[in-house]
Amino acid sequence: MKSGKSFEERGEKILHYLRSDLRHDLEKIPRPIVVEITGTPDAGKTTTIKELDNSFRKIGFRVICPQEGAEEIRHIPRTTPLYNIRTGLYALQKLIDYTAGHMYDLVIFDRGIFDPYCWMMYWQEKDKLTEEERILLQQFFLLRFWVDKVDAVWFVVCDAEEALRRNQRIALTTRLGETTNPQTIKILIDRYLSAYNQLKPQFPQLNLLDTTKLDEKTMIETVTSRTMDILEQNMKSKTTR
């Protein structure tokens, strides 16, 4: 039996019930908070992300930790800049999609859009990118359309020898990889430190943490406390406008 109302009238009534005007309006309801944790191999990123996830969920946050690009992109060899371009694009797509809605309160990236900036420096030094290509790719990943959606970024580094010790502690093989050997880790540390110093004046959400002499508890407490400070500052600045 027909209701006598048009499709548009019936649809508007349902939308009012769903409060779509509120749920999908980023001006009325803030987008999710975004945190990126990047850095050198075996510096403590994964441990930190796991504890951030657990801690925030325990106090009521809806948290999502997107799969790291390295776990998703396995069909491209790690011996080419295409690998880090592709993992960067993977993170970028996730960032755009998650910040366009309100399904989650907090999004924690294990390597996001700041990570490719460092890798492009690495690949230029390996003579696999020209200077022009490096600059173009770095500028793309740091465009304002998405970089402003990242609220806090941590560059986590660790001394090469300590990183290798941590890696071998639970490894099933002593065979070293393209990015998990002392020489490459030292190069990456230099690149991440250089990138941090270059980007910090332009992007105040960047933070640097050297975990070489930190135990896991201190490392996690440092990141959690400072991240909470940043998020509270962002909240105050946006609610007082």
Confidence band of 176 (pLDDT split at 50, 70, 90) = very low
Distance CA 237, CA 35 (A): 18
Strand 106-110 and strand 63-64: pairing?
A: parallel
Q: What domains lie within the chain, and their CATH numbers?
A: 30-225 (3.40.50.300)
- Please give the structure tokens belonging to residue 165: 């010790």
The pTM of the full predicted model, rounded to 2 decimals, is 0.86
* pLDDT for the residue numbered 172: 39
* pLDDT for the residue numbered 241: 56
* pLDDT for the residue numbered 18: 86
* pLDDT for the residue numbered 19: 87
Mean pLDDT of 11-25: 86
Distance CA 156, CA 118 (A): 12
Distance CA 182, CA 41 (A): 10
Mean pLDDT of 4-31: 85
Residue 102 DSSP symbol: -
Q: 207 phi and psi, to 5 degrees?
A: -135, 150
Give the tens place of pLDDT for each residue, 94-127: 999 999 999 999 999 999 999 999 999 999 999 9
Statement: residue 166 has pLDDT above 60: yes
